[in-house]
A and B are shown apart, each in its own frame.
Chain A
Amino acid sequence: MPTNAYGNIPVSSRINRLGAFYPLLTARWLGLGRVWARFRTSGTTPVLLPRDRAGHGPAVGREAVGATIKTMPFSLARVLAGLLALAPVFALPLAKPAEAKDELVIGMTQFPATFHPSIDSMLAKTYVLSMARRPLTMHDARWELGCMICVSLPTIENGGAVPETIPDGKKGVAVTFTFRPGLKWGDGTPLTSRDVAFTLEVGRHPQTGVSNQEFYRSLYKVDAKSDDTFTLHFDKLTFDYNAVNDMGLLPVHLEEKPFRADPAAYKNRTLYDTDTANPGLYYGPYRIAEVTAGSHVVLVPNDTWPGAKPRFKRVVVRVIENTAALEANLLSGAIDMIAGELGLTVDQAVAFAKRHGERFNVIFKPSLVYEHLEPNLENPILRDKRVRQALLHALDRETIVQQLFAGHQPVAHTGVNPLDWIHNPEVRKYPYDPKRAAALLDEAGWSVMRGGFRHNAKGERLSFELATTAGNRTREAVQQVLQSQWRAVGADARIKNQPARVFFGETVRKRTFPGFAMFAWYSAPENVPRTILHSSHIPTEANNFAGQNYTGYANPEMDRLIDAIEVELNREKRRALWKRFQDIYAEDLPSLPLFFRADAFVLPKWLAGVEPTGHQGVSTLWIENWRVQK
């Protein structure tokens, strides 16, 4: 077994985003004097290399630069000395935030398209808005559901939720919430049940542009008991009846006017986009004070927030799409931290931690993002379960995650994350076992080896396409390993990648990938993958390619399990159903699990209280706990 899976090229150099230019980002490695000396002596184009391949770099900081200047010719030294002389003039404003530490500058890679809580679903928006507003409930860092702005979590056991029969005779549920005392919008207007009712009206309206109306279709009525107590009536009783994580409350006193004027034009007239800095739109620990499109968002403490007071006087979220520039900004002090939810990929963060681990805390949090291979089950080769099992046995996923991600991304055995309480640790696993893979392929009829590849009795080659999003360096690196490991057992994977919008917008959506499609699914704790695995969600031309069961997987028992899990309220009974679900998944392999992605948080040593969750509840939901470490 070679030291890495790619031959003689170090893995670290393959995963560097900017290839040979990447070391330039490392201030420690940048020896200007040495480079100049090399240029002078060789007379060729300078090549920037680490100063010391043994790992001993020069001292970091201004002293090091000063020392370097002495090795340069007079003219260049004068130029740099001149710049250094000017430095105090320019440097003063830059140094201020770092010294004061009452401002936190967060870097991330995406800018929100809208600030309206319900229109469009974008992680960047969720990240920013979570500082300025809160959902009724949310799963915490231990993945337990709890109240965020309600007094207590209503359950059937405590009488807060009552099963009921809805008007059409089906079983529904009425869930009663009470707001925490003192909740007010940023302009001092109290948050009331009227806001909840208005939010439902906007959410259910077909023309408002609310993207995901599934929640609002299920929530068919709001009864106001008092200003701060209200009952939500849902048209079905599912196990997650009291999880109201996605209801973005709207201020009726501000948003009613543009909504009533023209619901169809509301998405263009909402104050969240036309007057984003209006304090009355927010009720969280912070409120948005300034937005510069495509550049940054500034948040300041919201004086009306009744909870724990936030510690920073100003939070700036800067958007830097290029991750190399993001790192450079962090090293220069222009930003204090990189958001784990929208920042560096794990391979980039691993490389960053190696170089700058002494200056920053790099935290890796395994998340619910599930990287996997989806086979098109209409492909006669991949339709055979034994072939899918063999191909999974042929992959050394442990080595892949160790080599590429330093072990920070756990190998997946099904789509259920090991951190989820429903996870079954006893589920069938597919360890790296080329002999078992070969035996399974022989059994499936792919037993004739010719030209290094397996063939069947008809002379057909064991060959299939392996497609993913072009330009995604991490996926492309993984893809190469998969190809080489499959080749070792005689399977021919032909790589055919496409730009993301072609891949997702056409190929995957219309199921035109002939072999495997490699991508990730995002989910939530105890997420029921109805749209992904239920046979009623297979996209076809007849249903206008609706649904996300892209593999075409159809198993009546799986369908029944999905239906049963959703409405089973008893936790232990549900655990048993989930166990069966995972057993079937591991046996059938409707998709080949690879690993769960991790979020990489790059934090300054002085920052404490940031608690990554790994699920859809972003870390900024608890920003009032973030503080400067003494």
Chain B
Amino acid sequence: MTRFLATRALQSALVLAVMSFAVYGLMGLMPGDPIDLMIAADPKLTPEDANRLRALHGLNRPILARYADWLWLALQGDFGYSRLMSRPVPDAIGPALLNTLKLMGAAFALALLIGLPAGMLAGARPRSRLDYAVNALAFAGISIPSFWLGILLIIVFAVLLGVLPAGGVAIGGGGWTETLRHLALPVATLAVAGIAGQARYMRAAMAETLRQDYIRTARAKGAGETRVVLGHALRNALIPVATVIALDFGALFSGALVTETIFAYPGMGRLIYDAVMGNDFNLALVALLFATLITLVANLLADVTYVALDPRVSFEERDA
């Protein structure tokens, strides 16, 4: 176990180092720099000012030298300053991350709470009316584009019924009711696809598991259907689903750009997009590396979950 975790930690550090170089390099290869963007906004900006600002922000230095400086400071815990948000990078990421966790966490929880039982029931009764209904709704949920669904929900619940805010976050922080009201529509938009996806995965896994010999044996021994499904099939059916859940868990921290944009929600998706487009190296780099780190952790969790769910798998075997 210790060796396994140590190996994964080393691999993760390597992936992060490569990612940081790749992201920094790719952003550096993008045409233009932040000063070009300033010139586009202010044609009166003189060449003298442009050169001064490039020197001030270190943009006149080779990209490798800039990357080396960034890496050295980052290793000491100094992640720099966000030019677009005018604050230290951790301060810029913190509120956006919290907002994203609220949004994606609620959508993720709904997806698990509704999608997994629905998929399980559908998988336990293949070709039944319930199965057809779950399948139809799941396909619909997967197929509906989030930007379309988001606008539709705004029209119905904000414009026509006027019962929920069309977007944004509560002014002054608001109470928990205000927070919930502002979260309702974006969470619903994200949850639809999430529920559909989880239901489809769970249905397929359950249907497959119920075709196994040991299930037939369990039924032959007189076990009731509920016991067969919950006691015998569910644990094995969850193994493939755990991978999907773990990977989805990584997305919790990287935000949902389209939904956040439609609902004017200040989360990580918009933050990363704005940082990349606005050439905010420090902010984009740290936000993307953080998302990478969480994905790596999620993969690790998936592996640990395998071991917990499937006694045939062990860390020792993996080490071998």
Contact = CB atoms under 8 A, between A and B. Distances in A.
A214 B40 CA distance: 17
B91 to A, nearest CB: 9
B95 to A, nearest CB: 6
Interface size class on chain A is 35 or more
Given A87-B161, A333-B162, A506 B171 contact: no
Interface stretch (A387-395, A540-548, A591-599): A540-548
A548 B49 CA distance: 13
A293 B53 contact: no
Given A27-B159, A322-B262, A328-B154, 8 more contacts: A62-B160, A268-B88, A296-B168, A320-B168, A329-B158, A523-B43, A544-B47, A548-B43
B44 interface: yes
Contacts of B172: 290, 298
The 10 A-B residue pairs whose C-beta atoms are closest, nearest first, are A505-B32, A546-B47, A294-B266, A506-B31, A332-B158, A273-B86, A320-B264, A114-B86, A505-B36, A121-B42
Contact of A113 (B84, B162, B262): B84
Nearest to B148: A21
A547 B51 CA distance: 11
Nearest to A324: B151
A576 B94 CA distance: 58
Contacts of A274: 87
A600 B94 CA distance: 36
Interface of B: 30-33, 36-53, 56, 81, 83-88, 92, 95-96, 148, 150-152, 154-169, 171-172, 178, 181, 261-266, 270-271, 274, 277-279
A27 B156 CA distance: 8
Contacts of B168: 295-296, 318, 320, 329, 334
A293 B162 contact: no
A532 interface: yes
Nearest to A508: B40
A502 B31 contact: yes
A113 B166 contact: no
Nearest to B82: A113
Interface stretch (A154-162, A169-177, A204-212, A578-586): A204-212
B158 A83 contact: no
Contacts of A113: 83-86, 278
B86 to A, nearest CB: 4
Contact of B56 (A84, A90, A207): A207
Nearest to B266: A294
Contact of B85 (A32, A293, A506): A293
A65 interface: yes
Contact of B49 (A21, A212, A290, A334): A212
Contact of B161 (A62, A331, A502): A62
B81 A544 contact: no
A292 B151 contact: no
A64 B156 CA distance: 12
B154 A546 contact: no
B171 A293 contact: no
A628 interface: no
19 contacts: A25-B155, A87-B162, A87-B163, A95-B162, A209-B56, A211-B49, A212-B42, A212-B44, A290-B172, A318-B168, A318-B264, A328-B158, A329-B158, A329-B166, A504-B40, A505-B31, A531-B43, A544-B51, A548-B43
Given A27-B159, A90-B163, A332-B166, A293 B42 contact: no
A163 B128 CA distance: 93
A123 interface: yes
A489 interface: no
B257 to A, nearest CB: 11
